[in-house]
Amino acid sequence: MVILLAGALFTGCRRQPRPAEIQWPAMGTFASVSVPESDRKHLQATADITRNIFETIEAQVSTFRTNSEFAQLNREAGQEPVPVSTATRDILVLALAAGDLSGGGFDITAGPLVRFWGFNGGTVPETLPSDSALQSVRALVGYHDLQVEGNKARLARSGMRVDGGGIAKGYAVDVAYQQAATSGIAHVMINLGGNLRCRGYGRANQPWRIGVRNPFDRSRTIGTLELTGGKAVATSGNYERFVKIDGRRYAHIVDPRSGYPVQGMAGVTVIANSAALADVMSTTLFVAGLEGSPEILRRVPGCEAILIPDREPMEIYVTSGIKAHFTPEPRYADNIKPLK
Ligand code: ADP
Ligand code: MG
């Protein structure tokens, strides 16, 4: 998770007030809108519009709401196509592209596996499931069997489930960001559960500053990202949502190809040109790991990443282009390594 840093952490900025912020619960996490203190007059209206957008999209794509379009798609799996809104269609289409980009590592139809491991409404298995039980669930996953045509979508086989947890928050941030831009809001940061997109400046012609948490010590940041110009950031971690089975920790991101929760990464932070892409890419690289990520990154212009494997001592692998945005804390300078 990334956090907006308080002004006092930055000696150079002490005399400038920290950005003004409104925060509220949304999509099972927290949303916030921030503007520079000098733009405080825009804050309430921007937050109100953003809140409306998030609520509308949540009602369309939440799998926890029985009347959402995602829930309907899942209920109708193997049956008739379901009419979908622009938001749902956009999310599904982008998710299909992400499936191809990631070689199936990102799969919006991972729903049955995500639930099988006890997340998003599923029951946590008491003991490690047998491979045959797992494989029968894995057989229900496959984005090639998600059909999107015009304003209709359909899951081809009964038992399939879409789960937008790795993409919908980023998409919602982009919609709110576009709305703010259209409304003439020059400086704003929109955040939904650590999916952020920044426009203009955070304070007195300074980029927005965002702290990246140390996945092994949540009270510390490993460094600071500076973002502006519509850039977005997202993080996927194994430390926020996990279950314990037989004393072992399993995170909420599954590898659709093996069926197992992904092991190996502690945290992945991605900068991209849109929040939806950052959201998708953080989950994608979390699955791809140190070995698979460079190849995927080469195919996505404007995307930079920080990968922290789940082992100690901590190693912080960074793409070369991250240097324009990321300043590690001095104490972690020796932990930085090039990702290649
Ligand atoms: P968070 O939702 O905590 O911000 P992510 O953006 O990394 O974290 O998304 C993780 C969520 O994505 C999971 O909770 C689940 O809903 C969904 N998911 C899990 N595995 C995959 C996968 N392989 N491909 C696509 N989505 C996934
Ligand atoms: Mg994500």
What are the tens digits of pLDDT across the range 187-198? Answer: 999 999 999 999
The pLDDT of residue 329 is 97
Q: 232: which 2 tokens?
A: 């977005």
CB 322 within 8 A of CB 334: no
Give me ligand 2 centre to Cα 281, in Å.
7
- In whole angstroms, what is the distance from residue 3 CA to residue 194 CA? 7
> CA triplet 175, 176, 180: central angle to 5 degrees?
120
Question: What sign has the CA pseudo-torsion 128, 235, 331, 334?
Answer: positive
Cβ of 200 less than 6 Å from ligand 1: no
Helix locations, the chain, DSSP H:
43-61, 69-75, 86-101, 111-116, 131-138, 168-182, 275-298
CATH code, residues 60-155: 1.10.3980.10
Q: 56: which 2 tokens?
A: 């509308």
Same CATH topology for 2-55+186-338 and 60-155: the answer is no
Ligand nearest to the CA of 95: 1
Query: What residue's CA is closest to ligand 1, atom 20?
Result: 253
Cβ of 163 less than 6 Å from ligand 1: yes
**Short-list 73, 13, 27, CA closest to 275:** 27
The pLDDT of residue 15 is 57
The structural domains of the chain, with segments of one domain joined by +, span: 2-55+186-338, 60-155
Give me ligand 1 centre to Cα 3, in Å.
19
- In whole angstroms, what is the distance from residue 157 CA to residue 155 CA? 6
Tens digit of pLDDT for each residue in 291-320? 999 999 999 999 999 999 999 999 999 999
Give strand pairing partners of 221: 213
DSSP 94: H
Query: What residue's CA is closest to ligand 1, atom 27?
Result: 166
CB 193 within 8 A of CB 275: no
Query: What residue's CA is closest to ligand 1, atom 16?
Result: 165
CATH code, residues 2-55+186-338: 3.10.520.10
- In whole angstroms, what is the distance from residue 22 CA to residue 236 CA? 24
Query: What residue's CA is closest to ligand 1, atom 12?
Result: 166
Q: 90: which 2 tokens?
A: 């956009």
Of the chain, the end-to-end C-alpha distance in Å amounts to: 24
Cβ of 252 less than 6 Å from ligand 1: yes
Q: 193: which 2 tokens?
A: 């559960």
Ligand nearest to the CA of 287: 1
> Tell me, what amino acid is at 298?
R
Find the farthest-apart pair of alpha carbons in the chain and give their distance in angstroms, rounded.
62
DSSP 160: -
Query: What residue's CA is closest to ligand 1, atom 5?
Result: 166
Ligand nearest to the CA of 237: 1
Cβ of 114 less than 6 Å from ligand 1: yes
> Tell me, what amino acid is at 219?
S
The pLDDT of residue 4 is 53
The pLDDT of residue 241 is 84
The pLDDT of residue 240 is 80
Q: For the chain, which residues score pLDDT lower than 50?
A: 6-14
**Short-list 270, 239, 79, 58, CA closest to 165:** 58
